Amino acid sequence: MSEIKEDEKLFICKPCGYVLKESELGDVCPACGLPRKVFEHYKERMSPGRRKILGLDMHPIAVHFPQTTLIFGLQALLINIFFPHFHPEVFLGTARFCAFIFPLTVLGAFVSGVIDGKFRFKSLQTPILKKKMNYSIIMTITSFSTPVIAWNGLTDMNTKILLIISGSIALFCGIVLGHVGKRLMNIGMGGAVKIMGRTI
């Protein structure tokens, strides 16, 4: 993303929050398609330093790793349960591997989320961010149970079911966190606005 100069005039689409330079302003909003009249002058509220950190998209990228790891692990485990003789070494190995790396991916998403929250909203004490923190803590604690459960292998059904329960709790937390995060991006809280197509 190119740097926005201080003297450049910016305009924001009031319905969708898309921000662009005056020279790029056409007849319709490029994001939502509404006519030009819905735009109004916009003043950048975020410092270049904060914008640069948020422009790295650490948290939006990091949140995909736990979800992917968890889904692959649960899928492999369920395939093994329903088809126990179909390459058990592959599917149980995949499930066990995912169980071991899952807490590392969650930890990365958690830390990047705290950094993102501090830079984007300047505080982690708002009601929505507290909700995100609570679900993140539950997901983090649950994630650290997965390598413990899988430590001695996944040979008996009780261990497999326990891992599925643990993974399902983490998956539920991940879904809630995804919905809350999407809502934060949509409402544009605390500087989370779209500048030339990117959320900052």
Instruction: Report DSSP letters for 78-130, one per residue.
Output: HHHHHSTTSSHHHHHHHHHHHHHHHHHHHHHHHHHHHHHHHHHHS-S-SHHHH
Whether 40 and 60 share a structural domain: no
* pTM exceeds 0.75: no
Residue 84 in any domain: the answer is yes
Whether 78 and 174 share a structural domain: yes
Say if CB 155 and CB 89 are below 8 A apart: no
Whether 138 and 169 share a structural domain: yes
Whether 24 and 107 share a structural domain: no
Whether 59 and 134 share a structural domain: yes
Which residue shows structure tokens 């149970």? 145
**What is the distance between the alpha carbons of residues 29 and 35, in angstroms, rounded to a whole number?**
6
Query: Which pLDDT band holds residue 81 (cuts at 50, 70, 90)?
Result: very high
Whether 126 and 185 share a structural domain: yes
Whether 38 and 65 share a structural domain: no
Whether 169 and 95 share a structural domain: yes
Residue 195 in any domain: the answer is no
Residue 1 in any domain: the answer is no
Query: Which pLDDT band holds residue 50 (cuts at 50, 70, 90)?
Result: confident
Residue 25 in any domain: the answer is yes
Domain region containing 59: 51-190
Whether 14 and 110 share a structural domain: no
Which pLDDT tens digit goes with each residue over 127-185?
Answer: 888 888 999 999 999 999 999 999 999 999 999 999 999 999 999 999 999 888 777 66
- Provide the pLDDT for residue 4: 47
Residue 69 in any domain: the answer is yes
- Provide the pLDDT for residue 8: 73
* Helix or strand (DSSP H, E) at 189: none
- Provide the pLDDT for residue 7: 62
**How many separate domains does the chain show?**
2
Query: Which pLDDT band holds residue 192 (cuts at 50, 70, 90)?
Result: very low
Q: Comparing 13 with 81, which gets the higher pLDDT? A: 81
Residue 4 in any domain: the answer is no
- Provide the pLDDT for residue 77: 97
